[in-house]
Amino acid sequence: PHSKREKAMADKSSPMMTIPTDAELIQAQADLWRHCLSYLTPMALRCAIQLGIPTAIHRLGGAASLPDLVTALSLPPSKAPFLSRLLQLLSTTGVLASNEARIYSLVPLSYLLVDGILVDGDASQAALVLCLTSRYHMEAAMGLADWFKKDIAQPVPSPFEDVHGATLFEESMTVLDPESDKLFNEALAAHDHMGIGTILRECHGLFNGLQSLTDCCGGDGTTARAIVKAFPHIKCNVLDLPRVINKAPSDGLVNYIAGDMFHSIPPAQVVMLKLVLHFWGDEDCINILAQCKKAIPSREAGGKVIIIDIVVDSSLGQMFETQLLMDMAMMVYTRGRQRDENDWSSIFAKAGFSDYKIVKKLGVRGVIEVYP
């Protein structure tokens, strides 16, 4: 016989709906709580950076007890029990490691957040965390339902633009909040340059035989300088907007060019787009790639475009979830998107390229060669 609960649910459900068991409902409730409260994980990470926890542990030799951290962080002793609870969440979510004696140590993730040190030549990623957990990004996400309901003329602004009336990385954001704009650009630079050392080692053949390369949206030239140091024979150009190039260092290693990739790209044997195209919609990407094609010689002469960007792949397990979250980030904060291999193949063909090859997949990103 059915219980009253099961009968009530059956009366309200469709004929095809399977009635959850008690065990399933208990699990569903726990899952719901986890989803609703999971925003506290990045908030805890933000708090850890603002308090300086990863840096303090690093300065204490890579491992620290709770009393060590209370002292190192100059916190009131009364906050020790609360800090313990924060550290427990950070340890459970893989930001820190801890043992039975409650000694907390850095893991690769938290090592990326230590202030003032370079990991494989890459700057700290702390700015990225502070950027993505800023009130501007949170408020944009909170406006998502209202944005969906609006019938907005093309081109559709992002929820970020809709809520704040400003566009990330453009003058309107500088006017809105100069301090936050500075942080967001620091985060973009840290994100864009992350991993170039790994790419140079894992995809060494990518640059063999090259004579010249133009790095589109290359910012301060960190990526281009790393390429020149590994391959001194390559002449590297860095193309970016004038307001970016005006702040770039002039060390003689690379040639900085102020311009706009939508209008013209300095000629080179290879054009590189590292974490650029996911900020743009398909039509804009096709236009950018068409300019790239004009800038390079034939395939026989070594002409190609190197794209380092996310290749969404459902077979990647947990990394697939990360890719989907990054796609949501593009939807909420920009007018861009992440793409799977079919999406990439389509825009390559529409831009007039004859072929492409995914050289290697490195985590959530892929390294792609595109041929004229």
Residues assigned a catalytic role: 278
314: its two tokens: 């459902």
3-state secondary structure the chain: CCCHHHHHHHHHCCCCCCCCCHHHHHHHHHHHHHHHHCCHHHHHHHHHHHHCHHHHHHHCCCEECHHHHHHHCCCCHHHHHHHHHHHHHHHHCCCEEECCCCCEEECHHHHCCCCCCCECCECCCHHHHHHHCCHHHHHHHHCHHHHHHCCCCCCCCCHHHHHHCCCCCCHHHHHHCHHHHHHHHHHHHHHHHCCHHHHHHHCHHHHCCCCEEEEECCCCCHHHHHHHHHCCCCEEEEEECHHHHCCCCCCCCCEEEECCCCCCCCCCCEEEEECCHHHCCHHHHHHHHHHHHHHCCCCCCCCEEEEEEEEECHHHCHHHHHHHHHHHHHHHHCCCCCEEHHHHHHHHHHCCCCEEEEEEEECCEEEEEEEC
With CA atoms as reference, report the closest residue to 192 among 275, 107, 93, 78: 275
